[in-house]
Structure 1
Amino acid sequence: MLVPLYRVAGPSEYLAITGWKIQDIKLAKKALILPGQRFVRVNVPPVNYTFEVQAMSAEKLPFLLPAVFTIGPRVDSDDSLVLYAKLMAPHDMCSKHVNELVQGIIEGETRVLAASMTMEEIFRGTKEFKKEVFDKEEVKVKSEVKIYENQKEADVAKANAELAAQKAGWEKAAQLARVEAKQAVSIREAELQVEVEKKNALTRTEKLRAELLSEATVEYDIKVQEANQNLYNNQREADANLYEKQKQAEAEKATAEAAFYSRQQAADADLYGKKKEAEGIVALAQAQGFYISTLLKALDGSYAG
């Protein structure tokens, strides 16, 4: 954003302001410089220029004309100040460039005027001669001022066009900012609405989840109770079957043990009989051996096989 600048001229200065809302040039001792305007400081104290002009009269006689010219605006005339500001504001009055410019103009016009006058006319009417030089310079200056004014009008028109373009750009930027702000508000409202909808949906989801969880919990408890009842019934049935099978196994075991005992008794009796029979055979064999041994002894060991 461009901020206006407050400027104050010095005691021997004026502010020459051009640009926005100013037709030509505005001179002021103090002013608020607005955006789209420009200013320069114009020093108004007069400046003396001393020259020795070499010229030639109508009789082709060369001569040296010393001259002192004081150049400055008439501070009691607004037109003079404006004209001075237009021509001299961009330059330093004591600069070499301005000194050479003034000297060149005065020497040129002096030589032209002297070439049309005799020596007698020149030295007889020195004041008239100087006045003639100044009159010619004034005509030339006015023509240059007209050119300068045309150029300044073109510059002002260009500055106004640039300012209008800048204002259009600022207005466009402002409109764009307003549109963007409005869009930002709309987007934020939409985002907030989306967040509200999300929260509502989340609330509904949580409520539905709680309801479903409650129903599922109840159903789960029922199924668990049913499963426990079925398990209990199956366990009772399994226990009854197991008890029945255990009783049957115990009966079969008792029967098997009784049969085994009977067989064991029979086997023991048979074994005892065979043992007694073997003992009888051994006793018989021993008796036979004893008999044979006794017989052999009786025969004195004589035995023919």
Structure 2
Amino acid sequence: MRVIVKDVLKHLNRIGEKYIFFGDENEIVQGYSSLDNYKPGSITWIKKADNVPLEFDTRNIKLAVVQKGEEIDIENKIICENSKKCFFSILDGLFASDDKDVDPIGNGTYISPEVKLGKNVIIGHNCTLDGEITIGNNTKIYNNVSIINRVWVGNNCVIESGVTIGHDGFSFTENENHEKHMIKHYGGVKIGNNVHIGGQCHIARGTIDNTVIEDGAKLDTLIHIAHNCKIGKNTVILPGSLIYGSAVLEENVQVSSGIIRNQMRMKKNSFAGIGSVVLKDVEENIIVVGVPAKPMRK
């Protein structure tokens, strides 16, 4: 796809992106590419000058989004504070495929009568939406997703393939003979706006109250969120993490492929390093690492 640099700048102005441009606004850009596999005539992204291959002549780049403070010899460049965000907003706005050409409901998908769908919702193939379910505007659900019982999903969310939401959590009672009886759950799952849920995640509903995932949370693949958990705004959880029952992750927490014990609380802006096992509450602005996780620094 071909665009004029002038149109790229108009897009950035429209979304309020702050930048400085050097070069010719009338140049034509043909598509996009990574720096490692640069395609002549395309737009690319350079976060660090050190990332440029040694024998690569940057003067051959048609247009680049460059991190502020990096000195690179390029004729046409857009310089900004958050170069990654800027670059991908350009791709989203000018190069992304149009979902309007996609069938909004895929083959083999079942949607029960109680389900309420917002505007511009897209649901992939072989999905099941069965129960008291509400899906907000502009939300996209990929293939083989199961959403059951009581679930609310906000606007502008992405739910990738293989996700299950709304099943009972793992909870039981035990008699004197150690015979287990599974506890039926009566809560739901409440998911805010602009939430991303990666492939193969499992989110259990609450026992009485709801399991909650707040606005802007981003979940990578293969994550387990147990019953009654609360995942705060703008929290990030990386692959393979296990968040056990009734755990609370406050705003802007990050868990890097770790385990959070049941009923633990990670407070605002805290961070659990790769493979950490959190067995105690974590205070605000603290990084914890290890097994068991211990404070490393603010």
**Structure with max Cα Rg:** 1
Indicate the structure with greater helix content. Answer: 1
Of structures 1 and 2, the one scoring higher in RCO (CA 8 A, sep 6+) is 1
Tell whether the structures are fold-level matches, with TM greater than 0.5.
no
Relative to the length of structure 2, the TM-score reads 0.17
Indicate the structure with greater strand content. Answer: 2
Relative to the length of structure 1, the TM-score reads 0.17
